[in-house]
Structure formats: structure tokens, C-alpha cells
Amino acid sequence: MLGSLHTVARMPKTSTATRHRGRLTFLALTVLVVSVNNATGAHACPPVVLVITLGVVPFMFLSSWCFHERPGSSLLNINDARSSDKLLQLMIISIILVHLLPLLMMGTKQSITESLFDQVLPYFAAYYPLLDDAVLVTSLIIVYGIAGIAVTVAYGTSITPSMASMIWQQAAFAVLIRFFIYMRESRYSQGSS
């Protein structure tokens, strides 16, 4: 049972090339979704998450695109799967270190509960199957998730309409990413046969 759940969540047989294309696509999609959610007021992100998602990630992409022909001149080589894996890990670890850990220590009980829907759920819904090396990031997210759930249960915080909408958004993200990976893999395997 646990093994089949891992297979659905992680998609371990996915090729490095498909994960790389998925990372590039979904990093761009993340920038778009965060922008729209923030602009419409549907879901307000913490300022540090906005800086990372709408500032650092687009800067890395632009830098890579502008200087892609100069070896070693870009922080991210857009054609290198290891670089996109490291960028996604860096984005997630940055959010954990500068947002989630301080939130756990100094945030309100309700904001900690909301972070489970805003940060932990999206990781497992969309980003987990895209990482080539997910051990460190997943471990950090799980530790934060356990601590956040403990706070939520201990203090009986409630689920808000914003959190409920995040559940639907993340379910759509999860289906979309897995469909994308499945379609890329099936096209790749047909081309190599």
C-alpha cells in the first residue's frame, strides 16, 4: 500500500529529461499562479515567498536565457537538468529557512495551520515528483509538516475558506503535473522504441 502511494506521488520511473522539462514548466507556472493569486487577492503570499517566487526565480531564468551561450556565466544553465533540480531545491529550501522555520517559532497558530496548505501541500502535490534528489528537501518539509500538524491539533485551529480553495488548487496542480509527466514519458518511450 505504502509502496503504491509512493509510486503515484513520486513517479520514480520518470526520466531525468522529463523531470527537467517539468521543472522548467512548473517553475514558470508557479510564478504565474503566485502572481495571479496575489494580484486578485484570492490568496496572499507572505512577502518573503513573493520575493523568492516573483524575484529570484524569474531573475535566474532571465539570467540563464540571456547568457546561455557563455559557459559558466549564468547561475542556471537552462539546458542542464542538474541546474534546474538545484534551482527548485534552492527555492524550496529558501522558503523553508526564511519563512517556515521563523513562522513555526514566532507565527500565530492560524498562520502555521495555513502554511500546511500553502507550502507543505503544494510541495507534495506538485514539486515532489519533479525533483531528482528529493531526500533533504522532503525531510525538511516532513519535519515542518509534523510540527505544523502538532500545533494545529494542539490548539484546534480552524480551516478557512482560503485554505479550502488551496486544497482544490493543489489537487488540480497534482493532476496536471502527473498528466504532464505521463504524456512526456509516453511520447519519449514511443520515440525511443
Q: How many domains does the chain have?
A: 1
3-state SS assignment for residue 3: helix
Question: Which segments of 113-184 are extended strands (E)?
Answer: none
Note whether residue 160 is domain-resident: yes
Note whether residue 172 is domain-resident: yes
CA distance 125 to 172: 9
Note whether residue 8 is domain-resident: no
CA distance 42 to 120: 19
Amino acid 150: pLDDT = 94
Q: What range does the domain containing 131 cover? A: 15-192
Note whether residue 168 is domain-resident: yes
Note whether residue 55 is domain-resident: yes
Amino acid 32: pLDDT = 85
CA distance 22 to 16: 10
Mean pLDDT per 10-residue segment, the chain (193 residues): 62 81 84 81 76 85 72 65 86 91 92 89 86 89 94 87 81 84 74 52
3-state SS assignment for residue 142: helix
The amino acid occupying position 58 is P
Burial of 109 (0-12, 13-18, 19+ CB in 10 A): middle
- Which residue is associated with the grid cell 489537487? 171
Note whether residue 43 is domain-resident: yes
Amino acid 43: pLDDT = 66
Amino acid 162: pLDDT = 78
CA distance 137 to 89: 7
pTM above 0.75, yes or no: yes
CA distance 168 to 53: 21
CA distance 63 to 60: 5
CA distance 41 to 23: 26
Other CB atoms closer than 10 Å to residue 134's CB: what's the count?
19
Note whether residue 95 is domain-resident: yes
Amino acid 93: pLDDT = 92
Amino acid 106: pLDDT = 93
Note whether residue 54 is domain-resident: yes
